Amino acid sequence: MKTTTTYKNKKVLVVGLGKSGINSAKLLCKLGSKVTVNDLKKAPQNIVDNLQAEGIKVITGGHPLSLLDDTDLIVKNPGIPYSNVLIAEAVRRGFTIITEPELAYEILDAQMIGVTGTNGKTTTTTLISLMLNQGRKDGEAYVAGNIGIPATLVAQKATKKDVMVTELSSFQLLGATKLRPHVAVLTNIYEAHTDYHGTRANYIKAKMNITKNQTKADYFVVNWDSEEWRKLSTQSNATIVPFSRKGTSKAGAYEKDGWLYFREEKIMLASEIKIPGEHNIENALAAITVVKLMGQENKNIVEVLKTFSGVRHRTQYVTTINQRKIYNDSKATNMEATEKALAGFNNPVVLLAGGLDRGFTFERLIPYFKNLRGIIVFGETGDLVAQAAKQAGVKQIVKTENVKTAVPIAYDMSKENDVILLSPACASWDQYPTFEVRGDMFIQAIEDLKKELEM
């Protein structure tokens, strides 16, 4: 890891005791900072003891504004909104507020690849790392960031021979000041997280922070299939390299006549990609563009795309029960993700959907509901999703308590050769702390059902 004196003897306040907060605090301590960690909730005593043993001050159970009186810099958990009383006051006083990936970048010795977008971030990040590691003889391509692995943890072990492929959320990118990936990727931008950012314009501005420090020596890989995204690329000083499922540009990776290409070089048939759905063709094209820029061979790219079965909770194949294929797409926390999941299947689908109410209605899903055998809805938006299904002419609509109770209903509703798909089109926070917990509950319910049917 690089040495830096930026944080030496600085009084740093780390707000939020999640994985990113804990690892940020420990790294700052190594860098010579005087660190205080603060969280609204009471922390488990073992975590408190562990941090205090390293000389880190821990204050939990509230956000006393007096903490700002003895602070030079703030490292904020990405999930904590700027409306938080402590953060709002810090903004008013003009404090620099960064997030964990920014801190990681300052000590990173390896090249950074940054991936952002509304949908497809995790799959694209994973594909890039797998492709770069396939056939690799020296070094390693690590994944980090919003994918669930703290960037500060990876940055401390990555060397000049390595690459850190970093998934970056809009929440994390709001804290970007120096962060400069050698290759930045924009998978797409849709309507999302306006409850956090206030407006779509603010959301887009946060996303575009991924490229704000790039120069012509860097690459900005952009989905070219939307005029809006093409226009956004003009904000970047990097070398623009497009990817396109619709063949709107041949300057990077694209699909043509069922084949995937990179700059006129035929790579493989799109139908040979193991994970289903047109959105995964987009993710594959984004990943191909990045790794070809990094010098990867086609045979290694093809091997990954033919064998990769998907990221957990992202159109993840779970199992087959009595000729019904079951997929977990709990990461579909917005309508665009559910549209793409549904578009990926030709067979009749029994859909499980619903979740946190962010003030949207679901009429835009009506065209995608035409192939539904039936739908089971739950959560705060259950009735709203059901209304859209009714307008689409879906004959079987059932409201239930949650994902667990939805599973046996979905099985009874389905027939042989159908697809049972959890793709909620909503965030999970009305019932579950994370989409991962929701997806895990779905998988467990499927496993329980399978055992019951085998008895």
Q: Cα separation of 400 and 317, whole Å?
A: 23
- Given a cut of 80, is residue 118 above it in pLDDT? yes
Please give the pLDDT value at position 263.
Answer: 96
Please give the pLDDT value at position 101.
Answer: 96
Q: Cα separation of 429 and 379, whole Å?
A: 10
Beta strands in 61-213 (DSSP E): 73-76, 97-98, 111-116, 141-145, 163-167, 183-186
CB atoms within 10 A of CB 41: 10
Please give the pLDDT value at position 198.
Answer: 85
Mean pLDDT (the chain) is: 95
Q: Cα separation of 86 and 92, whole Å?
A: 10
Is 316-454 a domain of CATH 3.30.450.40?
A: no
305 contact partners, CB below 8 Å, separation of at least 6: 127, 268, 272, 273, 274, 284
Please give the pLDDT value at position 197.
Answer: 84
Q: Find tokens 């907060």 and name the residue.
A: 21
- Given a cut of 80, is residue 194 above it in pLDDT? no
**Pairing between β-strand 141-145 and β-strand 183-186 as defined by DSSP bridges:** unpaired
Contact 115, 220 (CB under 8 A): no
Q: What is the pLDDT of residues 135-191, one digit of tens each?
A: 999 999 999 999 889 999 999 999 999 999 999 999 999 989 999 999 999 999 987
Q: In the chain, which residues fall in CATH 3.90.190.20?
A: 316-454
Q: What is the pLDDT of residues 177-193, one digit of tens each?
A: 999 999 999 999 987 77
Q: Cα separation of 120 and 126, whole Å?
A: 10
Please give the pLDDT value at position 338.
Answer: 96
Q: 101-307 belongs to which CATH class?
A: alpha beta
Q: In the chain, which residues fall in CATH 3.40.50.720?
A: 11-98
Q: Taking CA 334 as the corner, what is the angle to CA 330 and CA 338, rounded to the nearest 5 degrees?
A: 65
- Superfamily (CATH) of domain 11-98: NAD(P)-binding Rossmann-like Domain (3.40.50.720)
- What letter does residue 49 receive in the DSSP assignment? H
CB atoms within 10 A of CB 362: 23
Q: Cα separation of 392 and 387, whole Å?
A: 9
Using a 10 angstrom Cβ sphere, with 0-12 exposed, 13-18 middle and 19 or more buried, the burial of residue 181 is buried
Please give the pLDDT value at position 175.
Answer: 84
Please give the distance of CA 335 from its chain centroid, rounded to a whole number: 15
The Cα-based distances of 37 to 40, 52, 61, 337 in angstroms read 10, 10, 11, 36
Q: What is the pLDDT of residues 240-284, one digit of tens each?
A: 999 999 988 999 999 999 999 999 999 999 999 998 888 899 999
Please give the pLDDT value at position 85.
Answer: 95
- Half-sphere exposure (Cβ direction) of 346: Cα atoms closer than 13 Å: 1
Burial letters 438-454, b for 16+ CB under 10 A, else e: bbbbbbebbeebbeeee
